[in-house]
Chains A and B, each alone.
Chain A
Amino acid sequence: MVGASEIASAVGPGFLPWTWVIAVLPLASAALILFFGKRTPGKGPVYGIAAVGTGWVLSLVVLWHFVQGGGPLERSVAWFQVGPLHMELGELVDGLTAVMLVVVTSISLAVQVYSLGYMKGDARYTWFYVALSLFTAAMLNVVTANNLFQLLVGWEVMGLCSYLLIGHWWEEKVNSNAAIKAFITTRIGDVPFLFGIFALTFATGFTTSNIRVIAERISSGEVSTMLVAAAALLLFGGTMGKSAQFPLHVWLPDAMQGPTPVSALIHAATMVTAGVYLVGRLFDVFVHANAHVLQYVGVIGGITMLGAALLAFVQDDIKRVLAYSTISQLAYMVAGMSMGPAGRTAGFFHLFTHAFFKALLFLGAGSVIHSAHSNNMSEMGGLRKNMPVTFWTFAIGAAALAGVFPLAGFWSKDELLTVAQENGHPVLFVVLLGTALLTAFYMTRAVWMTFFGEYRGQGHPHESPVSMTGPLVALAAASAGVGFLGAPQLGAVFGKWVFYQEAEKAVFVPWVALASTAAALFGILAGYSLYKRYREPDPLRAYAGAVYGVLENKYYMDDFYMRWIIRPIQYPVAVAVNWSNQRILDGAVNGVAVVTRASAWVVNLFDQRVVDGAVNEAAEITGETGGVLRALQTGNVQWYAALLFIGVVVAAVLITRA
């Protein structure tokens, strides 16, 4: 069964029906690298880069279709059927998909080229590219899937790849711990997500999980508001995990233990945006749910954005500064989603621009770490002269993130602020503006501590190879340029690609633009005046006092989780696992002997003093029983066969007689 439906279009489908190829290409390259990578000259990256490069070109072709004003397309083949539930494999390609495809393939391409230099000489170089390719394929699957179960497959594969890549250098315990933390924390969000999918499938009478069918069903009002609200809240649980929203944000800073290109690809530009994408893709669910659901989304976004931005103030690890910044910017997007259709477009625009400059910042940080051999900004400084390309590109990225006119961040932040102001969200407006100020401050701090003053680290830093600076320059150009796609003065074309129901017209409110620019400039000036000369300890410590300690301890959230959630669960689980090891696994091995002493064991379990005796006793019984049984075990195959035949005859007679 092949079903194709085009949903109102002025332009022919063109390349659209083959969009799935973009997602399959990196999957194929992952397999190629896995099987032939080590035998290929250059150890395998060539497949990954070729696949994602082709994917990038094809994504632009897909986007071009929407630039011309083409309509969306859905296509699927039957996968399998369980009872009434039809599972399908398909693609749903609209403007949002096209934009996401471009983002994912661009960043993945940049990161894979960059890794040629960064990961050079790594012991698991080839494997690294396998995971990168697989990850790219999974993310592309998420953005093209036309049904929730297919989306879930990509979603979980991303979780797996994230785990593999964070723990890429698993020889160090910190790294593998971070990988486990990321995996389990996102998994906590995935459980409600899965139940959200069940709820939506239930809304269609368990017939399909097709996103468009679900959206139509919910828009037509056939589904009870309670069910929709529950589904929306459950789905948002998945978003909180994947997009690192409060209170499940704790994994993302730790995920910085992975190689820096991974941080750029997964923990800044793509995977973490999957949560935001999910909200936008299933926007009907959120819009038609109880109004409080969107408010709740906004509140979570607001808390996360301010909280994470403040934490970025006290970090010394340059990647952690960027990690908290990522959490804060993701919250921007989530908050955008909470402000209705116009906010959805603005949020996706921010996702779009943020992907470029945050990837740029991470790769820049990677370049710095690569040459200074440390993550800590206290061991950097003065790198401006040694690494001019890295410095200039990083500065562009930081300015874009801070929202300096006319870089990308300015336009997307301005659009979010305008939407908040126009649609009557005064509190969010203030929070967004405040976060913009904080962002400008901590980015200035990071830039000054890293690139200005005197070099405080070991050795002689030097500029990175072309394979690393090349992607930096390309991303810097993108960070400077992509903002104009959403500029109201230029027609805000972005709103014509990504919209809910009808195309968004961006408005330009001069005083909002002025306010955001003022906030950015104030943040930069404040940062400059505090950090223009490097001082130890951090001058902020004196001003902030006790608050500084709270921030340094991340609001004590990790300690809270450790003390009240992980330990209480961990201990009984450990006891249970230990118990099952002792009793079930060993029991099976010891076979007859353990069965013999099982009754004694149960009695002794409650009597601690007899346990020692029981262990010795058990060993003796095992030995004696074994001594008797070993006479049967001659090692002669024919003897075994004779026993087998006798057993079969006896069994056959018994069965027929019974």
Chain B
Amino acid sequence: MIRLPLVLFFSAVLFSTGVYGVLARRNGVLVLMSIELMLNAVNVNLVAFSQYVRDIGGQVFALFVIAVAAAEVGIGLAIVILIFRNRESINVDEVSLLKW
């Protein structure tokens, strides 16, 4: 027996830590790692609710999230390497082309 909110609070902490990492880190790879933290928080939630409502679908979706996360890391790192190759730096705050 585990109380559901306990797991949810852990997931919330994990998520917020991820948010901090995404916002505060300037190294592209570290930002990607922080995103992994956030995705893990989501997965914890999915598994917890899957056990809570007795529906295995939640775990199936956790698996899907893991697969998509793998794809995301692959693409993300490819982009980071591309940026590094072009600018000799992977600092996210220096890549400020996203404005008019």
A residues whose Cβ falls under 8 Å from a Cβ of B: 630, 633-638, 640-642, 645
Contact = CB atoms under 8 A, between A and B. Distances in A.
Interface string B16-52: 0001001110100001000000000000000000000
Contact of A636 (B22, B24, B31, B93): B93
Contact of B92 (A633, A637, A645): A637
B71 interface: no
Contacts of A630: 99-100
A641 to B, nearest CB: 6
Contacts of A645: 19, 23
B53 interface: no
A636 B96 contact: yes
B6 interface: no
A638 B92 contact: yes
Q: B interface, how many residues as a size bin? A: 10 to 19
B22 A633 contact: no
A447 B97 CA distance: 70
B75 to A, nearest CB: 16
Contact of B97 (A635, A638, A640): A635
Given A635-B97, A635-B99, A636-B96, 14 more contacts: A633-B99, A633-B100, A634-B96, A635-B98, A636-B92, A636-B98, A637-B95, A637-B98, A638-B22, A638-B23, A638-B24, A638-B93, A641-B22, A642-B23
A636 B95 CA distance: 7
Contacts of A635: 96-99
A640 B23 contact: no
5 contacts: A635-B98, A635-B99, A637-B96, A641-B22, A642-B23
B79 to A, nearest CB: 12
Interface in B60-100: 92-93, 95-100
A637 B99 CA distance: 10
A640 B22 contact: no
Contacts of B93: 636-638
A634 B95 contact: no
A640 B6 CA distance: 31
B23 A641 contact: yes
Contact of A640 (B19, B26, B31, B98): B98
A337 B97 CA distance: 69
A642 B24 CA distance: 10
Contacts of B22: 638, 641
A635 B97 CA distance: 6
A641 B22 CA distance: 8
A108 to B, nearest CB: 47
Nearest to A642: B23
A47 to B, nearest CB: 38
Contacts of B99: 630, 633-635
